[in-house]
């Protein structure tokens, strides 16, 4: 890994998804969208499923998860 790459030193967080909040199980910088596989920076995380315990990058991905 190159120190000049933007992902250097970043690791995936482990979260517990609650009704209106998240609980950090293991600290990190991002989570991975369950539908698209894209990295979601924690500060941009807005969509998730409490029942499925998975994050989504946007509303469209969230809707796709509901219909699958």
Q: Is the pLDDT of residue 1 over 70?
A: no
Task: Tell me the C-alpha distance between 27 and 11, whole Å.
Answer: 8
Residue 66 has which token pair?
A: 């509901």
Question: What pLDDT is stored for residue 60 in this prediction?
Answer: 97
Q: Specify if 2 maps to a domain.
A: no
Q: Specify if 8 maps to a domain.
A: no
Q: Specify if 5 maps to a domain.
A: no
Task: Tell me the C-alpha distance between 50 and 18, whole Å.
Answer: 6
- Over residues 18-63, the pLDDT tens digits come to 999 999 999 999 999 999 999 999 999 999 999 999 999 999 999 9
68 confidence band (pLDDT: 50, 70, 90): confident
| Number of domain units in the chain | 1
Question: What pLDDT is stored for residue 16 in this prediction?
Answer: 98
Torsion of the alpha carbons at 5, 11, 16 and 18, rounded to the nearest 10: -20
Q: Specify if 3 maps to a domain.
A: no
Q: How many residues does the chain have?
A: 68
Q: Are 44 and 53 in contact (CB under 8 A)?
A: no
> In the block, which residue shows the tokens 């409490």?
50
């Amino acid at each position: 890994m190159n120190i000049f790459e933007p992902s250097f030193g970043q690791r995936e967080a482990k979260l517990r998804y609650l009704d209106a909040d998240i609980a950090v199980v293991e600290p990190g910088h991002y989570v991975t969208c369950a539908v698209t596989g894209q990295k979601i920076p924690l500060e941009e995380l807005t969509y998730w499923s409490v029942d499925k315990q998975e994050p989504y990058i946007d509303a469209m991905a969230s809707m796709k998860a509901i219909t699958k």
